[in-house]
Amino acid sequence: MRDLAPPLRAVRAVIFDTDGVITDSARLHATAWKATFDAYLREHPPRLPAHWRPFDISTDYPLYVDGKSRREGTTAFLESRGIKPISETVEALAAAKDRRYTERLRSGNPVPAYPGTVDLLHALLEADVLVAAVSASRHARELLVEAHVMSLFDTVVDGSEADRLGLRGKPAPDLFLEAAHRLRTVPAQAVVVEDALAGVEAGERGGFGLVVGVDRTAGRNRTDELLSHGADLVVADLCELLMEGAAP
């Protein structure tokens, strides 16, 4: 068993984003968005040639859709291509993305949890730190169950609950604040772990004691963006938040 690294000592709770932090599912979302938007852009080319670009997973995904609800992500992307987001179009595209994502999710290949995240979860449980999972997705619970990590969390706030409770999507801090509230912890004593720009911004806006950005791309730009959007520190994998325990 490894010990918690210094930044996580003396915290009461850690709140994890789900896609891309707990499970390797951000890619699944990104490819479902790309297929959906590219099909739409082919049939409805934007007016200006400068906007004739397919959805780019490395740039459009983090800027416009990652961490947001389907509707908010769709709206932001259409606007980035100079397309007015009419509500029927937004609904249709959001539904099409959900169909594609769900098909892939249920294709019989479960999305695994990152081993570094699982190790950190066990160390937090051992240290009596409370843990929550948060996601803008309605499929977060299904994902956590399939990845065999659902039982490790004290609470989960997902997209369905956000809808039911009228919580705003990231970069508003509502999902994280709801999780902290359920864990009976004030934000200043809790940590947010996020891989989305909108997510680290939500952590900062919520007044959380520490905001950890996760950059699995190992790209300098991405790390800088996470820092400038509110991350206090950035790691490539959550195992960096653990250290070898002292010899007995």
The H or E element spanning position 174 is helix 174-182
Match 């009461």 to its residue by tokens. 12
**181, 4 in Cβ contact below 8 A?**
no
Report the C-alpha gap between 93 and 122 in whole angstroms: 39
Q: How far is the CB of 169 from Mg ion (least distance, A)?
A: 12
According to the binding rule CB under 5 A, does residue 28 interact with Mg ion?
no
Report the alpha-carbon angle 231-180-131, nearest 5. Answer: 80
Complex with Mg ion: residue 17 or 215, whichever CB lies closer: 17
Complex with Mg ion: residue 130 or 202, whichever CB lies closer: 202
Given the rule CB under 5 A, which of 16-24, 116-124, 160-168, 201-209 is the region that contacts Mg ion?
Answer: 16-24
According to the binding rule CB under 5 A, does residue 19 interact with Mg ion?
yes
According to the binding rule CB under 5 A, does residue 60 interact with Mg ion?
no
Q: Which residue is nearest to Mg ion (CB)?
A: 20
According to the binding rule CB under 5 A, does residue 196 interact with Mg ion?
yes
Given the rule CB under 5 A, which of 159-167, 176-184, 195-203, 218-226 is the region that contacts Mg ion?
Answer: 195-203
Residue 144 is encoded by which pair of tokens? 């956590």
**215, 205 in Cβ contact below 8 A?**
no
Q: So which residues are the catalytic ones?
A: 17, 19
According to the binding rule CB under 5 A, does residue 20 interact with Mg ion?
yes
According to the binding rule CB under 5 A, does residue 159 interact with Mg ion?
no
Among 72, 158, 161, 195, binds Mg ion (CB under 5 A): 195
Whether the CA torsion 33, 35, 36, 38 is positive or negative: it is: positive
65: nearest Cα among 40, 90, 48:
90
Binding site for Mg ion (CB under 5 A): 17, 19-20, 195-196
